[in-house]
Amino acid sequence: MTLGALGVVYGDIGTSPLYALKEVFHGGHVPVTSANIIGVLSLIFWTMTLIVSLKYVLLILRADNNGEGGLIAMLALATHAVRDRPGLHRVLLAVGMFGTAIFYGDGVITPAITVLGAMEGLEVYEPSLHAWVLPLTLVVLTCLFAVQRLGTAGIGRAFGPITLVWFIALAALGLPQIIDNPAVLVALNPLYAVEFFIDNKLVAFIALGAVVLVVTGGEALYADLGHFGKLPIRIAWYGLVMPALVINYFGQGAMLLARPEAVKNPFFLLAPSWAEIPLFVLATSAAVIASQALITAAFSVTKQAIQLGLLPRMHIKHTSVRDTGQIYVPFINWSLYVFIVLAVALFKTSSNLASAYGIAVTLDMTITTVMTFYVLRYGWRYPLWLCLASTGFFFAIDIAFFSSNMLKLFGGGWFPLVIGIGMFILMLTWKDGRQLMGDKLREEALDLRSFLEAIFVSPPTRVSGTAVFLAAEEGLAPNALMHNLKHNKVLHEHNLFVNVRLHDVPWVGFDHRTTMQPLGHDCWQVTVNFGFKNDPDVPEALKLLEGRGVPLDPMETSYFLSRDIVIPTFGDGMALWREKLFASMHRNSAAAADFLNLPSNRIVELGAKVEI
């Protein structure tokens, strides 16, 4: 498990040495002097210690939602903790949605900067190959996204060993330089970081925007909690990842003390001449692994957001018969690809991309800290002073890094922010549109029990078989039932009115999957429950009703759904442009039948118009 965590969890943060220290001194804001090198190294070490070792590994990993982590899980925990405070609940939901949306901005920049940073090793060794850096970057990225549809199970097995070799190589590259110049180890003293700030003030504050690159990927520690558990993640960090990163950064710093001109690319210049080609190949492999881990996370976050009702249904392909977490979302895959190619073409170098990096990451870190406060205070009932002390300290650090990165807003920071804001508008529009649509359907719907009592006064013709009517609301007569009676004038011998509930917990077990209430006349009200990491499968869930008087012969069971057409209108709902956007999203969303895994040859869809 620890070896697996190396490949998936630490791929992103493990590739930061490719560009992080270089970017601190890039642009000439921070002169390459001995005092500044020691100060920056001290800042890097204590940034990793405070943000990753203390905040994420010790504190945030404790806030698991039934073993699952990530911003979606934290959002579910925080909103559940304040469920009896409606105003605060709405605010936290909006903040959590924005954090989730911003993640997609980070998902565009990370593969672009890591692969580009690795490819730039070519021009360090052979300047004449400069013109090949961009084309080769695009080739690697294109191949990476093209193979996603095949699944990552085979590649995933190689992630851990390759990343293990990568971290060993990081330490092996840095150690000789530290041995040659052990004076660099004084940077472990935090006073040198403080002195760097005192001596440089505004320049040091600006440098924070580059220093934050050393902790990019910290969110992955929490997001991948459900895959590996706390212990393997902690063992990997304290036992290998952090020591290897510190040795490499300090090795780069020791080399800069002796050869300040190496600042143009200190990582690749650490390697002796015989190791140049192997290091380039290894760095490219590590960059691909870091990108793959983030792409996989984007698929996972999208699936969870869909099941929490924050995004429309999308086609999700399962690429493994054993691991339900192995999924492929074509729309997200190719959307990410388009924006990543755009980022590479627009920014052209890892240094330029570094100016776009940081805002999304630090904003997500800040939001995670805020959510953690509400989980500690209202979910776990810890004393107020303890909650403020534990999260306030990290909040101040997050705000400092976020403020520094905001200086990069017009230099490229706008790019991931625009992507994040666009995603937030889509998520908010989808959520509000579903609320309006639900209100309209409830307003026009009839009580199911009363309706059945009325029609059985003079019952319609009964036909053999079982009808499963999918209902948006429990206890209300579904549109599909009304239209079936109106047009076909028949009712099946057995009828199930099924309401699918998606909960804000990761998993719902089979013992709580279905509940059933008899309605008389061989009709039943059934509720099917799924968590946001379960794969919705209604036929499989209904099998749990066997032996309880409900016949469910697959060849005698039909599934009735209502395919609603949304009509935007002027009124009290959303702005007209948002209603039109929602109507378009609703029209183009994947079919409910596919999402619920209904058998395609047993489905009857009946249309209806809904004005919002």
Token readout for 470 is 């999918």
- Domain coordinates in residue numbering, the chain: 2-432, 445-611
The mean per-residue pLDDT over the stretch 202-219 comes to 86
First-to-last C-alpha distance (Å) of the chain: 50
Instruction: Summarize pLDDT for 527-574 with one digit per residue, the tens.
Output: 999 987 788 899 999 988 887 878 888 888 999 988 888 888 887 778
| Average predicted confidence (pLDDT) for the chain | 87
CATH class for the region spanning 2-432:
mainly alpha
Contact 550, 521 (CB under 8 A): no
At 431 the pLDDT is 92
Quote the tokens at residue 448: 């199911």
pTM of the model: 0.84
pLDDT of 304: 82
How much is the pLDDT for 42? Answer: 95
pLDDT at 221 (0 to 100):
77
Q: How far apart are CA 99 and CA 65, in angstroms?
A: 17
Tens-digit pLDDT profile for residues 273-287: 888 889 989 998 888
What digits encode the pLDDT tens for the residues 380-402? 889 999 999 989 999 999 999 99
Q: Report pLDDT for 67.
A: 73
> What does the pLDDT look like over 87-120, one tens digit per residue?
898 999 899 899 889 888 888 888 888 888 888 8
Burial of 579 (0-12, 13-18, 19+ CB in 10 A): buried
Identify the H or E element spanning 585. helix 576-588
Whether 82 contacts 259, CB under 8 Å: no
Binned at pLDDT 50, 70 and 90, residue 324 comes out as low
Give which of 503, 504, 506, 470 is closest to 592, Cα–Cα: 470
Res 153 pLDDT > 70: no
Q: Is the pLDDT of residue 197 over 60?
A: yes
Q: Which of 290, 341, 332 has the alpha carbon at shortest distance from 100?
A: 332
What percentage of residues in the chain have a pLDDT greater than 70?
A: 97
Q: How far apart are CA 286 and CA 14, in angstroms?
A: 8
pLDDT at residue 325, rounded to an integer = 59
Q: How far apart are CA 231 and CA 234, in angstroms?
A: 5
